[in-house]
Structure 1
Amino acid sequence: MIFELIDFRSFSNLWYWIALAVTWSSASHWVLGIPYDMVLRARRVGGQAETDLADITRVNVSRLLYIADEAGLILMAFWAFGMSTLLLLGFVYHVEFCQALSLILLPMSLVMFLSIRTARRIRTDGDAAEALHKRLAVHRLTVQVIGMISIFVTAFWGMLQNFNIAIFG
């Protein structure tokens, strides 16, 4: 019974699609680790909400850039090794579980690189108030577009895999 709940044929499993939806929903809500409702509240209310947004942005940008600057090379090497392994297992050796993970993690790596780039721009330009709102909104929109494309490609690939299994066994 437990193996029926944890089916490694990912594209036919409801849990995979729930995980995909939650992943992209979270990625578009937490912009640089900042909940987007804080951006909206700061834009609408101002005052203390604006100060809170500036503070949490400063902390998250500093944290993200510290990690990227101090351990970025090592993390990139591990990430490249892991993604190469997943891609090879998934698309050369046809392991469906690795295909499914690749279709989530590969676009998320693009989001992470964009987050680091946005954090560097915020620090360099010293964004505050309206400029910060705009920069975070553009970043969120970019993440949402990447998410929509990713979900479309994943759904297409998943339907193709399910179709092939149904036809060719």
Structure 2
Amino acid sequence: MDWFENLTALIDLRSFSSVWYWIALAVLWSTASHWVLGIPFDMVSRAGSRGGQAEADLEDMARVMTNRLLGISRIAGLWLLGLTCFFLTSLALIGFLYGIQMAQAVFLMAFPMAIVGVLSLNTARLIQLRRAHGPELRKILWRHRIMVQVVGMIAIFITAMWGMYQNLKAGMGNHFGPMGAIEQQVDDDPNNGWGRPGGV
């Protein structure tokens, strides 16, 4: 049943060969770039072009989200830091020490997002300390979005290179290994080459 084999290959989530992993990676970074501190970036653009009520809505949203992020960091920051470090360390050991591709794939998504989380906390703290509003607030959010996009581009590049390497290594192991064995058998065959009738 070729269609069933194709379907199972399509939904295979065990390695970098899954198309769903790359779709999830693209959606992850697209979402992280659009939602700046939990604020949809179209609000920032609309506040800059229209002002007035749009500007007030952005400032209210920024105040709510910065207070929320900083409140969570004050209440459960140490616990979240410890759990995040434990989670990332476990993924790194399982993935890169024991060679589990799924753990590698998740680590290459989770570690850059942890960096984005640190950047978000720093940006929220900066907004609160400066009591930023108006053009200054938009400038800070723009800068944060650019930093997230830079982290995303680097992460996608590294993930693509590592995934390509893993897929090529798996392909070479599957194809060149048996070919090498066949070539060795042909070379060892006493009837091969000049000793075989009709050999060239």
Task: Tell me which interval the TM-score lies in, with the shorter structure as reference length.
Answer: over 0.9
TM-score, structure 1 as length reference: 0.97
Q: 2: distance between equivalents of 1:49 and 1:14? A: 39
Q: What is the aligned partner in structure 1 of residue 34 from structure 2?
A: 29
How much is the aligned-residue C-alpha RMSD, in angstroms?
1.1
- Asked if the contact 1:8–1:96 (Cα under 8 Å) also holds between the matched residues in 2, the reply is no
Equivalent in the alignment of 2:45: 40
Give the 3-state SS of the residue equivalent to 1:8 in structure 2: coil
Q: Distance in 2 between matches of 1:58 and 1:125?
A: 12
Deviation at 1:36, TM superposition (A): 0.3
Separation of aligned partners in 2, 1:98 and 1:6: 17
After TM superposition, give the deviation of residue 5 of structure 1 in Å.
Answer: 4.7
Offset, 1:4: 4.0
- How far 1:78 sits from its partner (Å)? 0.8
Distance 1:151 1:131 in 2: 30
Aligned to 1:97: 102
Distance 2:41 2:169 in 1: 40
Q: How does 1:85-124 map to 2 (within 5 A)?
A: 85-124=90-129
Q: For the residues of structure 2 that align with 1:112 and 1:58, how far apart are their CA atoms?
A: 17
Aligned equivalent of 1:126, options 106, 128, 131: 131
> Deviation digits for residues 76-96 of structure 1, max 9, x if unmatched?
111111111000000000000
Contact map agreement 1:90 1:96 (CA 8 A) in 2: yes
Q: Which TM-score applies when normalising by structure 2?
A: 0.82
1:141-160 correspondence runs (5 A): 141-160=146-165
Give the structure 2 partner of residue 12 of structure 1. Answer: 17
Residue 78 of structure 1: aligned partner: 83
Unaligned runs of 5+ in 2: 175-200
Question: What is the distance in 2 between the residues matched to 1:45 and 1:93?
Answer: 54
Identity %: 51
Deviating above 6 A after TM superposition, structure 1's stretches of 4 or more consecutive aligned residues are none
Considering Cα pairs closer than 8 Å and 6+ residues apart, tell me whether 1 or 2 has the greater RCO: 1
**Match in the other structure for 2:141:** 136
Distance 1:156 1:126 in 2: 42
Shift of 1:145: 0.6
Instruction: Report the CA distance between 1:149 and its aligned residue.
Output: 0.6
State the distance in 2 between where 1:55 and 1:8 align.
41
Q: Quick one: which amino acid aligns to residue 51 of structure 1?
A: A
Q: Give the residue type in structure 2 aligned to 1:132.
A: L
| Higher radius of gyration, 1 or 2 | 2
Residue 3 of structure 1, CA deviation: 5.1
Q: Distance in 1 between matches of 2:140 and 2:170?
A: 44
Alpha-carbon distance in structure 1 between the residues aligned to 2:21 and 2:167: 14
